[in-house]
Amino acid sequence: MQEQPRFHAYAGDSPPAFANEAELECAQILDYHGIRWEYEPHTFTLDVDEDGNTLEAFTPDFYLPEQDLYLEITTMKQSLVTKKNRKLRRLRELRPDVRVKLFYRRDVEALAEKYELGEAS
């Protein structure tokens, strides 16, 4: 992965450690537009055992505090897309008040190309 640029709209305390290039591109897009964002600030429990231990959880990639919106970026692997879609459905069942938007890698790449962020970073 390329060297991480300095972010101006990032609202977190420590530098984010992105899992992949698509997340970095999304962060650059948010920053380009001056949209305040946080990286993986919250984990939602989706399933627990009888002792209350977490069996399944979901941590969206980004949170936009001014929009009260979470963003999840997914890769092109169909198995991961299917798993994330299932987790999103479960989160919506448990927490209909939580707003999450799923972006596929191709969506983020198209935006990065539009704003010429791939070469600028």
Does the residue 88 lie in any domain? yes
Does the residue 23 lie in any domain? no
Q: How far apart are CA 60 and CA 6, in angstroms?
A: 22
Does the residue 9 lie in any domain? no
Residue 96's domain comprises: 33-120
Mean pLDDT split into 10-residue runs, the chain, 121 residues? 76 90 88 94 97 96 96 79 90 97 80 62 37
Does the residue 44 lie in any domain? yes
Does the residue 62 lie in any domain? yes
Does the residue 28 lie in any domain? no
pLDDT of residue 117: 60
pLDDT of residue 1: 47
Quick one: CA torsion of 29, 13, 75, 22, rounded to 10 degrees?
30
| Pair of tokens at residue 82 | 């299917």
Does the residue 77 lie in any domain? yes
What domain count does the chain have?
1
pLDDT of residue 94: 97
Does the residue 105 lie in any domain? yes
